[in-house]
Structure 1
Amino acid sequence: MNLSKMKKILTALILGMTMVAFVGCSTKTNTDPSPDSKEIKEESTLENKDSKIKYATKFNVEYLDNNVKLVIDGADRKLLLVPKGEKKPEGYDDIQVINTPIDNVLLCSSMQTSLIRPLNVFDTIGAVTTYDIDKGHIDEVNDRMKSGAITYVGRNTALDYELIKSKKPEVAFIIASDVAKLGAKFDELEIPYVVEASAAESHPLGRMEWIEFMSLFYNKEAEADKHLQKAEETINKVSEKVKGKNKPVATAGVIYDGKFSVRVGGSYQSKMYEIAGGDYTFKDFQSDKTGAASITNEEFYARSTKADIYVFEGMGKTRPKTISEFVSQAPIIENMKSIKNGELWSSQPWWSQSVDKLDEIIEDLAAIFYPEEFKGHEVRHYFKVENK
C-alpha cells in the first residue's frame, strides 16, 4: 500500500473517531438537567424516596445520606432527623434538627400513646398532657404514670411550663389544632416540637400510617411497616368479604350542647363505614372536608330516621347504659328505625386510644353490619346498648 493511500485511510479513521466522540458528548449533555429543571426540582415537595407511605397525605419523608431523614410534619414544617453522633449535612441551616433515636418525649394527646404502641417505646415517654389514669386505657402508660416514670404536666389549656422545662424533653408532639397556643411557648423554652395531624387524614390506613411517622423519630420503620402491612391485609379481607352485599344503612352521631356532632363525608370514619360495607347517611355531607360538624337535631333525624344501625362513637368515658337513657338526651330520635329495633351500638371507652387498631375496628363494624357473614367474630371495640 502506498503512502498516499495510507494517509487517506488514517484521516478517515480520525474523522470517524472524532464524530463518535462528538455524538457521545452531545448525548451526555442532553441528559443533564437544565438550570430550569434543577430549579423546579428544588422547589418541589419531598419525593418520598424509599418511603412506604401509601395512604397518608399530611406528612412526608425523604431519606438522605448517612441515615438522615428530611421530614415534613402535619403543619408543613420541615424537620431534619439526624442520628445521634452524626453531623448535620450541609445546606440545611434553617431547619430544626432532632437527633434520633429520641428517648425522652412529651406527648400532648392521649391518642398519640396508641400511635407508638406498635413500636414498643413506652419507656421513652417522660411526660404527658390530657392523659389521666382514670381515662387512660393503655396499661403500659398507666403503670408508668403510677410509678412516677411518666409525669403529668397538665391539660393543654393550662400546662405547667416550669415542670415541662424541668423534664427536659427532647421533643414534644402536639396536634395541629394546638400549634397556635403551644408552638410559640415551646419555641421560647427551646423545646423542639413536632405536629401530628393523623386526625385530618381521609382514609383509616392514612391515619394509621402516622405510626410510620412516629417510627421515623425512633428509627423503628421496620416495626411500623410490619404492623401496617398486617392492618392493610385485614382491611382488604373485610372489603372483599362484604363486596356485592346489600348495604345496611348506618348513621352515627354524638349529642353535644343540644346538637348532634357527626363525622363528615370526607372523614376517615366515613371511609371506615364504607370499607365495612355500610351505607353511611352522612357520606355526602361535606364530603370535601375531614373531621366533624354540628347539625340540628331535626336535620340529624331527617337524614337518619331510616338507618338500620346507629353507631355511637363517644370520646369521653361515659357511655349509654340503655337505649332509653340515650333517647332522653334527644327525644326526637325515639322513632328512628335503628332505635326502635334496638340496633344502637356504642364504642368502648378505649376506642379513641386505638388508632393503631383501626383495622380491628373496621372488622368489628363489618361484623355488626353483617352478623351472618361474620359468625364467630368477637366484637371487641363496640358493644350493643341494652334495649330498655
Structure 2
Amino acid sequence: MLKRSTTAALTAFVAVGLTATACSSSPTDVDSALDARGCITDFDASIDYFPDKSILFDAKNFTVDYHDSYQVLTIEQPFPGASPESYVLVKCGAPDPELSGDLASAPKITTPIRSLYSASTTHLPLITELGRLDVLTGVANAANVNGDDIRARIADGKITEYASGKAVNVEKVVAENPDVLMTQGTDDPSYAKLRAAGIPVVANAEYLESTALGRAEWVKMMAALTGTEAQAATLYDRIRSDYAKVAEVAAGAEKRPVLNGTMYQGTWYMPAGGSYIGRLMHDAGATYPWAGDPATGSLQLNFETVYTENGTAPLWIVMSDWATTGDAVAEDQRYGQLTAVQDGRVWSGTEDMGPTGGNNFYQLGVLRPDLILGDLVAIVHPELAPNHEFAFYREVPRA
C-alpha cells in the first residue's frame, strides 16, 4: 500500500543516522572545536572541519567540494544559458582561504548562514525538513507559501515579504541585510544591484534537473549553507529509497495511456519524455506518444496534433485548478472532445492548496518525488494501490 508520509514522520527519520556521506575526521574531535552555532572557536589548520561530506547521486546542476575549513559550491547553470557560478563557503571562525584563479574573485559566504531570503517556495521544504526554519527570514511572495509553521512566522513578522509584486524591493533587502538571497533560477536585474550592495546572491536552479530525484537532491545544496550535511544525507537516502520502492511496484505492470499538459495561449505544452514529468510518467507505468522524445523540457504542439495522437487516452493529468470538467470546457471548448473528459477521468495536481492559493505540489513536491510518484501510480494503476492516500493529486469531478 502506497501511503503519504507526514511531515512529522519525515522529520523524525532525519535524526536517525548518517548514510551516503564520507568522513575523514572524527565528528567528536570537530564538535569539541565548534560553538553552539557551529563556528570554529580555536582554528587549527590541521583539522578537517567537515567530517560529514555530501555525496551526490542524481543532481547534475551543482557540485560541492570540501577543503578542510571551506567549501566550494558551484552551480553549473544558474539560469538557462548561463555559465557556471561558484561560491566559497567559509566555516565561521576560520580565516579566509588563500585562493587563486576564478575562485579568488568568487563570492565568499560565512556558514552556517543565519538568515536566508528565498525567491521560490521550492526552497522552503529544504529548510524546514533540515530543521532550520529559523534561518528563513524572507520570502518573495507570502501568498504562495504553504505550511502553518512558515505562515505563522510570516504573520509574526519573523519572515519578511520582499517581492509581493514580483519585483524585488532592493531597498528592503539591503536594509535587512540577509546572509544570502537565493534565486529561483532566473537572472533578475535586481540581483546585480544586490551584489553591488554586498548582499550574497546564490543561484538555485533545481528546475533545470531532468529527473525528479535530481531536483530533490538540492536539499544537499541547502545543507552546505546550513551545516546540515548529515541530516540531508539521511533525509535524501530515505526519499530515494522510497521512490525506488514505488517505482518497483509499477515496473511489472503493463503501461497505460495517459494525456498530459494543457493549452496556453493556443499552444499545448506537452512534457517531453526526457523531462522530469516524462520520467515520472515512465516510472508510474504510463505511456504517451511523446514518451520517447529525449528532450528535457516541454514540446509546443497544437490541439489537432495532440487530439489525433493522444485524444483517446482515458486519463488526463493536469495542473489546472478546475472545480469540474465543465471548467475545462469553458476554458477551451475543444477539451470537450477528449475521451478523458467525455467518459474517462481527469486528475489535477491541486489536492493540497494553501489558504491564499499556494500549491504544495510546487513546494513540498519538489523534495518529495516519492509522494508524487505514489500518486501517479495510484492514478494510472489503481489496482496496485487501492487504499492510497493522495498527497498532491485529486480527481476533477465530471460536470
User: How would you bin the TM-score normalised by the shorter chain?
Assistant: 0.7 to 0.9
The structure that has the greater radius of gyration is 1
* Correspondence for 1:311: 317
What SS does the corresponding residue of 1:93 show, helix, strand or coil? Answer: helix
- Indicate conservation of the 8 Å contact 1:107/1:172, yes or no: yes
What is the CA-CA distance between 1:362 and the residue it aligns to? Answer: 0.6
- Indicate conservation of the 8 Å contact 1:107/1:173, yes or no: yes
What is the CA-CA distance between 1:80 and the residue it aligns to? Answer: 0.9
Equivalent position to 2:363, from 353, 367, 374: 353
What SS does the corresponding residue of 2:142 show, helix, strand or coil? Answer: coil
What SS does the corresponding residue of 1:119 show, helix, strand or coil? Answer: coil
- Indicate conservation of the 8 Å contact 2:142/2:164, yes or no: no
- Indicate conservation of the 8 Å contact 2:285/2:380, yes or no: yes
- Indicate conservation of the 8 Å contact 1:323/1:342, yes or no: no
What is the CA-CA distance between 1:50 and the residue it aligns to? Answer: 4.9
Residues 153-168 of structure 1: pairs in structure 2 closer than 5 A: 153-155=162-164, 157-168=166-177
- Indicate conservation of the 8 Å contact 1:251/1:280, yes or no: yes
User: What percentage of residue pairs aligned between the two structures are identical?
Assistant: 25
Equivalent position to 1:295, from 295, 298, 301: 301
For the pair 1:266 / 2:269, whether they are aligned, the reply is no
What is the CA-CA distance between 1:155 and the residue it aligns to? Answer: 4.2
- Indicate conservation of the 8 Å contact 1:56/1:206, yes or no: yes
Deviations 1:301-350 (A, max 9, x none): 23321223111124xxxx10111221221222223222222310011232
* Correspondence for 1:198: 206
Residues 37-186 of structure 1: pairs in structure 2 closer than 5 A: 50-66=53-69, 68-73=70-75, 74-75=77-78, 76-91=84-99, 92-129=103-140, 131-133=141-143, 135-155=144-164, 157-177=166-186, 179-186=187-194
- Indicate conservation of the 8 Å contact 1:145/1:151, yes or no: yes
What SS does the corresponding residue of 1:158 show, helix, strand or coil? Answer: coil
- What's the C-alpha RMSD, in Å, of the aligned pairs? 1.9
Mapped partners of 2:110, 2:280: distance in 1? 36
Equivalent position to 1:336, from 332, 335, 338: 338
What is the CA-CA distance between 1:275 and the residue it aligns to? Answer: 1.1
* Correspondence for 1:253: 261
- Indicate conservation of the 8 Å contact 2:54/2:233, yes or no: no
* Correspondence for 1:45: none
* Correspondence for 2:376: 365
For the pair 1:374 / 2:385, whether they are aligned, the reply is yes
Mapped partners of 1:116, 1:280: distance in 2? 36
What SS does the corresponding residue of 2:384 show, helix, strand or coil? Answer: coil
Unaligned runs of 5+ in 2: 1-51, 79-83, 354-359
What is the CA-CA distance between 1:293 and the residue it aligns to? Answer: 4.4
Mapped partners of 1:198, 1:125: distance in 2? 19
What SS does the corresponding residue of 1:328 show, helix, strand or coil? Answer: helix
What SS does the corresponding residue of 1:202 show, helix, strand or coil? Answer: coil
What is the CA-CA distance between 1:259 and the residue it aligns to? Answer: 2.8
Unaligned runs of 5+ in 1: 1-48
Mapped partners of 2:188, 2:159: distance in 1? 26
- Indicate conservation of the 8 Å contact 2:273/2:295, yes or no: yes
* Correspondence for 1:43: none
* Correspondence for 1:239: 247
TM-score, normalising length from structure 2? 0.78
Structure with the larger RCO, 1 or 2 (CA within 8 Å, 6+ apart): 2
What SS does the corresponding residue of 1:116 show, helix, strand or coil? Answer: helix
* Correspondence for 1:322: 324
* Correspondence for 1:20: none
TM-score, normalising length from structure 1? 0.80
What SS does the corresponding residue of 1:176 show, helix, strand or coil? Answer: coil
